[in-house]
Amino acid sequence: MTGGQICNKSFLAVPVDEPGYEASRLMTLNNAAMLIIVDEKGVPVGYVSRGDLFRAQKSKIVDDTIVDKGLLRKYIDKWLS
């Protein structure tokens, strides 16, 4: 079999200005690993994967959140001091 015979010919596409949370919602609802990004003429210009969205969210969380050391780490630090 060839790649063309095996591949899935249907895909989800979103415009370039689609918010990340909407892309994530579409991926979740459709169990899709990626979305094709299209320009205003409908021409594909790239794609976004789940990993891309996770990395973008991670950088936002790191910027906005104080990371707690965890209970075990606090206990060890107290015990060592």
pLDDT along the chain (81 residues), means of 10: 76 89 90 91 91 81 57 70 69
Does a structural domain hold residue 59?
Answer: yes
- Please report, for the domain that includes residue 48, its CATH number: 3.10.580.10
Tell me which DSSP letter residue 42 carries: S
Integer Cα distance of 30 and 32 in angstroms = 5
Does a structural domain hold residue 1?
Answer: no
Element spanning 44, H or E: strand 44-49
Residue 71's SS3 state is helix
Distances (CA, A) of 49 to 29, 34, 39, 70: 14, 4, 17, 31
Q: Say what the pTM is.
A: 0.61
- Residue-number span of the structural domain to which 67 is assigned: 8-80
Q: What is residue 77's predicted lDDT score, i.e. its pLDDT?
A: 73
Does a structural domain hold residue 2?
Answer: no
Counted domains in the chain: 1
Cβ neighbours, 10 Å, residue 36: 14
Q: What is residue 49's predicted lDDT score, i.e. its pLDDT?
A: 92
Q: What is residue 16's predicted lDDT score, i.e. its pLDDT?
A: 92
